[in-house]
């Protein structure tokens, strides 16, 4: 049995972004319960040269929307990257989920050998076959930034665990 490009992309992105939204909800509850400034979390970074929490969420959303759009050969919506609050980050996740839900399976299936050229750092691009891009770049990038966001929250005492990361609200 083969795995289609559509079933390996949109459902995985949907699940992981839904789980990220769940993790953000737990962070919101944490700051409310502890009566702390939310920017203590949204601006936090694990190392001086890493992006802060907020940027990790934005990049995770971009990995999903841009990746699915590239595979489908369509334009991804442009977001302004001005989100700073948990509410705005939740809205960003919801906009991303809404967009990827509109991409038909037929636009993704059969793109295994399609050449995908994408930005890979300032002034750099890479080109990969569709399946290699999905499995070796897009999804690992999505997982990396969601994991980093999770780790920032966990490091700061938010009660999140592996079940939240893997199962989200179904956990």
pLDDT above 90 for 74? yes
Separation of alpha carbons 148 and 79, rounded Å:
21
Does domain 5-159 fall into CATH 1.10.1060.10?
A: no
Helix (H/G/I), strand (E/B), else coil: 125: strand
- Residue 1: the pLDDT is 57
DSSP 168: G
Give phi and psi for 11, each to the nearest 5.
Answer: -65, -35
Q: Where are the alpha helices (DSSP H) in the chain?
A: 5-34, 39-42, 53-72, 86-101, 105-108, 130-133, 139-155, 162-167
CB burial class (10 A; 0-12, 13-18, 19+) of residue 118? Answer: middle
- Residue 121: the pLDDT is 86
Separation of alpha carbons 103 and 36, rounded Å:
39
Instruction: Measure Cα distances from 8 to 3, 23, 108 in Å.
Output: 7, 23, 10
Query: What are the structural domain ranges in the chain?
Result: 5-159
Share of the chain above pLDDT 70, in %: 99
User: Buried b vs exposed e over 57-89: b needs ≥16 C-beta within 10 Å?
Assistant: bbbbbbbbbbbbbbbbeeebeebeeebeebeeb
pLDDT bin (cut points 50, 70, 90) of residue 56 is very high
Flag whether the pTM goes above 0.75.
Answer: yes
- Residue 2: the pLDDT is 77
- Residue 68: the pLDDT is 98
């Amino acid at each position: 049995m083969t795995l289609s490009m559509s079933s390996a992309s949109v459902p995985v992105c949907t699940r992981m972004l839904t789980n990220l939204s769940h993790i953000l909800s737990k962070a919101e509850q944490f700051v409310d319960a502890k009566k702390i400034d939310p920017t203590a979390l949204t601006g936090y970074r694990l190392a001086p040269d890493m992006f802060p929490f907020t940027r990790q969420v934005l990049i995770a959303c971009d990995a999903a929307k841009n990746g699915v759009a590239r595979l489908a050969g369509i334009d991804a919506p442009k977001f302004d990257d001005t989100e700073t609050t948990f509410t705005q980050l939740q809205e960003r996740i919801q906009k991303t989920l809404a967009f990827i839900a509109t991409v038909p399976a037929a636009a993704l299936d059969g793109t295994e050998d399609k050449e995908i050229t994408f930005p890979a750092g300032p002034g750099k691009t890479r080109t990969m076959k569709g399946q290699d891009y999905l499995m070796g770049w897009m999804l690992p990038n999505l997982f990396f930034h969601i994991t980093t966001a999770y780790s920032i929250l966990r490091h700061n005492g938010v009660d999140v665990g592996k079940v939240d990361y893997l199962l989200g609200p179904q956990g």
